[in-house]
Amino acid sequence: MKRIKDFILGLFRVYCREFKLILSDKGIMIFLLFLPLGYPIIYSLIYNPELVKEVPFVVVDHDRSTLSRKLVRELDACDEARLLGYAADLPEARRAMDSRQCFAILEIPEGFGRKIGRGETGAGAMYCDMSLLLRYRGFLVAITAVMQNMGAELLEKDINTFVPLAGTIATGNLLPIDSIPMGNIRSGFDSFIMPGVLILILQQCIILALGMAGGARHERASVVGYDPHNNAPSVLATMIGKALTYFTIMGLPAVFMIHYVPLIFTFPMAGNLFEEILFITPMILATIGFAFVFQAFVTERESVFVCWVVTSIIFLLISGLIWPRYDMPPVWKFVSGLCPATWGVEGFVKMNSNGARLWQVSHEYEMLWWLTLGWWVVAYFVQRFIVLPQTLGSRPRRREASRLKAIRES
């Protein structure tokens, strides 16, 4: 009974001291406040125009017929494309493209209009700059729509020339086609990438902050300006105490990120906030466990920057947001399964964008709890056998150790 009481008391002391330590540490506060509050805003603003519109293209029209002009006019009328002008020949058009004035060239060969008039297919080509896939995609969508519209119109007009009465049957749309985007109904880039990125930012904030706090434990108190030692007699109590501190501090920023950022930028918000919070809880816990393990590699406050910042790129690509998880090479699929953010992103996007309920993402939810368990077990051993001896190595550390021992014995 007394042991339980001591355990809880130690845990509580660690919690309070860690709180004070964090509040007095500017470096950690940046990770816990500026990063989750400011970074999502900057990031969302970059992509906030959502759609790539009015990308300029140049036309090389060797035909100069009514139909070729109609084709160009209709493409120009599309949201995605904008006519920059006509070029006399392909080299001139290429010069415009090379100097980045336009990003596609539409070439209409001679005889285009005549062929269509004869009832044959009028072919043409559109050359696209491939440096950005979004521009290419825009042109593709636009030209497909134009082709279909013109085709339908011509069909309606010409079918009577083949069979006099056919028009009566074939008028109107024979078979209307509806394309309906789901989840991200505007097909906007911001609405696609940000819900996932928010979860990634949440994970990175926790790991960076805990990493820096772990680095501080290796520094001399005089350098850092305070005594970074905050241990309870039991390693587990220390870990739980600290985890609770971070959990408390991250609570509000986490809600800000999963609820208010989508609200500000009108991202899809099909989910239930309460369920989302329930879902995100094990992700935060698993991430804290992950960060405890990471502390073993941080022997100095600032080295978290050097060795952790770049991992954001890994987590982004591995999360399944950019490249679907089902198609990953097996090694990376396995690695991605070990990252809390992977399941966090998967589940959160499904809930937030596609309106899935908590029980529909039960697989992701279960995986997060398993990861929490797994990382915490590894974290316990890492903290007990690597971090603790490391930080208690030097002379001030040994003094600390004897103090701890005294506490333990008393």
Partner 1 sequence: MMGGEKRGLWAIMVRSLAQIARRPLMWVAMLGLPLFLFLFLTTMLDAGLPTRVPTAIVDRDGTSLSREVTQTLGGMQMVDITTTANSFSEAKKALQEGKVYGFFLIPENFQADLLAGRGPAISYYTNMAYFVPGSMLYKTFTATAVYTKAGVAVNVAQSLGVNPADAVPLMQPVNIQTRGIGNPQLNYGIYISNSFVPGVLQLMIMLVTCFSLGEEIKRHSSVHLMRMAGGSVYKAVFGKLFPQTVIWWVVALFMEAWLFKYNHYTMSGSWLWLTLSELMFVVACQGFALLMFCIIPNLRLSLSVISLSGILAFSLAAFSFPEQSMYPALSIFSWMMPVRYNFLIYANEALAGRDIYYSRIWYVVYIIYMVAPLAMVWKLKREFEKPVYCP
Q: Which of residues 29-88 bind partner 1 (CB under 8 A)?
A: 30, 39, 42-43, 45-49, 51-53, 55, 71
Select 9 or 314, whichever has its Cβ closest to partner 1. 314
CB contact at 8 A, 236 and 380: yes
Site for partner 1 in 105-144 (CB under 8 A): 106, 116, 119-137, 139-140, 143-144
Q: What letter represents residue 333's amino acid? A: K
CB contact at 8 A, 374 and 320: no
105 closest CA partner among 78, 125, 122:
125
Select 127 or 290, whichever has its Cβ closest to partner 1. 127
Distance CA 344, CA 282 (A): 9
Binding residues with partner 1: total (CB under 8 A): 122
Provide the b/e sequence for 266-295 (b: ≥16 CB within 10 Å).
Answer: ebbbebbeebbeebbbbbbbbbbbbbbbbb
Site for partner 1 in 200-259 (CB under 8 A): 216, 219, 223-225
- Taking contact as CB under 8 A, which single stretch among the options 9-17, 274-282, 284-292, 311-319 is the one that binds partner 1? 311-319
| Greatest pairwise CA separation for the chain in angstroms | 105
Distance CA 31, CA 335 (A): 25
Q: Is 314 in the site for partner 1 (CB under 8 A)?
A: yes
- Taking contact as CB under 8 A, which single stretch among the options 175-183, 239-247, 254-262, 285-293 is the one that binds partner 1? 175-183
- Taking contact as CB under 8 A, which single stretch among the options 12-20, 276-284, 323-331, 368-376 is the one that binds partner 1? 323-331
Q: In the bound complex, what is the minimum distance in angstroms from residue 73's beta carbon to partner 1?
A: 13
Select from 242, 350, 367, 376 the one that contacts partner 1 (CB under 8 A).
350
Q: Is 272 in the site for partner 1 (CB under 8 A)?
A: no
Q: Is 25 in the site for partner 1 (CB under 8 A)?
A: yes
Measured at the alpha carbon of residue 159, what is the angle toward residues 153 and 162, in degrees to the nearest 5?
Answer: 155
Q: Which x/- pattern over 351-370 shows residues binding partner 1 (rule: CB under 8 A)?
A: --xxxx---xx---------
CB contact at 8 A, 170 and 160: no
Q: Is 377 in the site for partner 1 (CB under 8 A)?
A: no
Q: In the bound complex, what is the minimum distance in angstroms from residue 358's beta carbon to partner 1?
A: 12
CB contact at 8 A, 200 and 340: no
Select from 77, 174, 263, 407 the one that contacts partner 1 (CB under 8 A).
174
Rg of the Cα atoms in the chain? 30
Q: Is 290 in the site for partner 1 (CB under 8 A)?
A: no
